[in-house]
Structure 1
Amino acid sequence: MKKIVLCAAVSAICAVPVTAMAEADFYGQLRISLDSVDADNAAAAKDGLTVTDNTSVFGFKAMSEGDGVKAFIHLQAGAKADGNDAADAAFTKRFYFGGLKGDFGQVAYGLMSSAYKMPGFKMDPFYNHSSVNVSGSVVNGAGGTYGLSPVNNLFTDNALQYTSPAMGGLTLNIGLYVDDSEADEHGTGFGAAYKSGNISAGVQYASNGDNATIKNLNADSTAIRVHGGYKADGWSAAISAEQVEKSSTTDDTYLFLVGKANISDSLEAAVTLGSVSGDTTAIEGTGITAGVFKTVAKKTQVFGSLSTVSLDDDTQAEPSVFSVGVIHKF
């Protein structure tokens, strides 16, 4: 089935007239920080003062436009900025996908973020920062912050996703996540998002078959998220609530709140509050991450943040990290 889907996508792209316009763009981000880590665990890989790459990347985007249809591709690789070992790879695989968009909406295929993941990724101001991560430990500069589920991390392969055009502020999406094995245990997902003026809201659902095709969602399990936000002049707030099935009888609940405020034209403050509870998780508790981002040049920010967690299980480590760093886009 994978070959059929891929051949259909390639054939559709090749059929689009490209005489009107063609664009290509290389881009990158240097993201690095100096962290003071209190891992609260003698066996932790990182504790004390450390330099961390916060997912520096290098990417390529291209688009060709024909008669009302645009064909596009997007590839991105990790470009680790703190590698000090000769064995460190210059680039690592992140995602690659291509597709078509027009009045009909957008369809894309490849290795990409699932539609379920995207609201959490967009909402979290400390995504891919040195903070307490979704597993309650100090992250190595990658993934979501405590209070988001693990389904908000990583990329899903063989993903075929469609997003409708906006209809009175409402968009719909559906996804098929192809299982390469002969079992045909494909993952599926669907959702809706609404935006009107300062208000946004949405719901996303994801389901795996007996093989876990959607990343970080267990086999034969489901996840559902509801989310909403409000954006005013100078400040914004958003909330995400997830219920993630761990087995046929157990579920975990994730609550994530975000607030952001513009202190000045070049200075923004952000804070997140995360809560995890459930039947099986050992990381039930509450976490908070707060920080400021200062724009010092058109494409350059410096930042400082503090992230910590308080867990209900006293036997679990409760890490914290203070981080200062820079993000430069080019």
Structure 2
Amino acid sequence: MKKKLIAIAVGTAMAVPVVAMADVSFYGRAHISVDYLDDGADYSETNLSSNSSRLGFKGNHQINPNLEAFFQIEQQINFTTGNSDGGTDFATRDTFVGLRNSDLGALQVGRFDSPFKVARGPANLFGDQVGDMRNLARAGDGRFDERYDNTIQYTTPTMGGFNAKLAYSMYQGEWAVEDEDSDALSMSLNYAGGPLEASLAYEKVEEDASRGERDGIRAAAAYKLTDAFKLVGFYQTLDYDGNDATTSLDRDLWTSDTYGVGGEYKVAPNTALKAMWMTRDSDADNADADMWVVGVEHKLDKAVRVYANYAVVDNDDNSELVPWKEARTANNVENAMGEKAAGFTVGLRYDF
């Protein structure tokens, strides 16, 4: 019996270095804000919001000098409420596993942001805040900026500052359904080098997806004119065909062109002023909207930052967009038909 116990103990001790070979890290983000929101009509209140806060694990394992396995498990967690929209306390964000070859690129499978979604990154000055560009770029139920299930993605190696991403979502839902065409294709070409960062993306979703058939083109860029000043630009065109349940009005409302420009100026090493203007031109009559955002952000250190923003969406008579809808728990007010909806926010973001 003693010999068996000794053998088990030795075997366990020998297994520890094998586990240690995997480089695994725990990370997260606590992002909260206090917001004063006014839809221009009946709602005018102060809210506390959790803004895409998250917890995750990620790691990699070197198989040989040229081949590496990697994974990530990430969950949304809310710091202000018990759940999100009546759901569970956690919601799956970018979660995947894959292999990376230094010469051939990376292949990953799981649920994660599409290349089309990631492509807004260079111009995304107010991500997960009041004034996020997705309040215009992702408007309507025919939305893009998605995190697709059941996805396979290939990422090329970076050559001369360029890389490309090609993702294919095989089907929507937990399993494939016979005679259902709900797959999605998303791709992007990306560049980062010197003062320029830019992305060009295309995405197409088939007719049996829950929001119907749609496709879009997106371009985003950031250029550092000086060490202190960065200029950004964004353009997107979407065409929404819908499905059998979609009305012609819905198709016109969600078919749109959205574009804008903005800038970031560092007034001190850790303090920046930001501003952006965007407009959404819908195919439907009198359904356009403009958004202005100004803000200031101060980094207390590499992990913690504070900010304050003021954002306004000016709606045409048949538009009801607000500047606080996306990526936030305080997001369920939409009574702004034909109104100016405004939000003022003071936020804290802690990355760990």
Q: Which moved more, 1:218-227 or 1:68-77?
A: 218-227
RMSD: 2.7
Partner of 2:212: 219
Q: Which amino acid aligns with 1:320?
A: A
TM-score by length of 1: 0.81
Q: Deviations over 1:182-222 (max 9, x none)?
A: 23522112232233421233321111112227xxxx42221
1:182 to 178, 182, 189: 178
Counterpart mapping for 1:272-311 below 5 A: 272-280=276-284, 283-311=287-315
Stretch moving more, 273-282 or 52-61: 273-282
Q: Hey, what does 2:54 align to over in structure 1?
A: 57
Change in Cα spacing, 1:302 to 1:108, as seen in structure 2 (3 Å) is: same
Per-residue displacement from partner, 1:151-201 (whole Å, max 9, x unpaired)? 454411111111111232322221211112223522112232233421233
> What does 1:10-49 align with in structure 2 at a 5 Å threshold?
21-42=21-42, 47-49=44-46
Distance 1:245 1:190 in 2: 17
Q: Tell me the distance in 1 between the aligned counterparts of 2:206 and 2:144.
A: 18
C-alpha deviations, 1:247-298, integer Å up to 9, x for none?
A: 2885310113231121111111211211100213864121011111111234
Number of the residue aligned with 1:82: 80
* Structure 2 Cα separation of the partners of residues 89 and 210 of structure 1: 29
- Which runs of 5 or more residues in structure 1 are unaligned? 1-17, 135-143
AA matched with 2:162: L
Work out the CA distance in 1 between the residues paired with 2:62 and 2:219.
35
What is the aligned partner in structure 1 of residue 92 from structure 2? 93
Alignment check: 8 A CA contact 1:147 1:287 kept = no
Q: How many residues align?
A: 296
The AA in structure 2 aligned to 1:225 is R
CA deviations on 1:8-67 (whole Å, 9 max, x unpaired) are xxxxxxxxxx8994211111111111111112232x5xx311111112111111111121
Report the Cα distance in structure 2 between the residues aligned to 1:290 and 1:91, rounded to whole angstroms. 32
Assess, with a 3 A threshold, how the Cα gap between structure 1 residues 152 and 266 changes in structure 2: closer, same or farther: farther
| Structure 2 equivalent of residue 7 of structure 1 | none
Correspondence for 1:198: 195
> In 1, distance between residues paired with 2:259 and 2:273?
21
Q: 72, 77, 90: which is aligned to 2:70?
A: 72
Q: Secondary structure at the match of 1:183?
A: coil
**Following the alignment from structure 1 to structure 2, what is the Cα–Cα distance between the partners of residues 80 and 66?**
36
**Aligned partners of 2:53, 2:292: CA distance in 1, in Å?**
24
Question: How many percent of aligned residue pairs carry the same amino acid?
Answer: 21
SS of the residue 1:233 aligns to: coil
Which residue type is aligned with residue 61 of structure 1?
K
- Which residue does the alignment assign to 2:258? 254
Secondary structure of the 2:78 match is coil
- Alpha carbons of structure 1 residues 59 and 84: separation in structure 2 relative to 1, 3 Å: closer
Deviation of 1:92 (Å) = 2.8
Aligned to 1:229: 222
Q: Secondary structure at the match of 2:340?
A: coil
5+ residue gaps in structure 2?
A: 1-17, 243-250, 319-336
1:110-125 aligned at under 5 Å gives the runs 110-125=110-125
| TM-score between both structures, scaled by the size of structure 2 | 0.76
The CA distance in 2 between the partners of 1:260 and 1:31, in whole Å, is 21
Q: Distance in 2 between matches of 1:126 and 1:19?
A: 40
Seen in structure 2, the aligned counterparts of structure 1 residues 20 and 169 have a Cα distance that, compared at 3 Å, is farther
CA contact 1:148–1:274 (8 Å) conserved in 2: no
Q: C-alpha displacement at 1:149, in angstroms?
A: 5.6
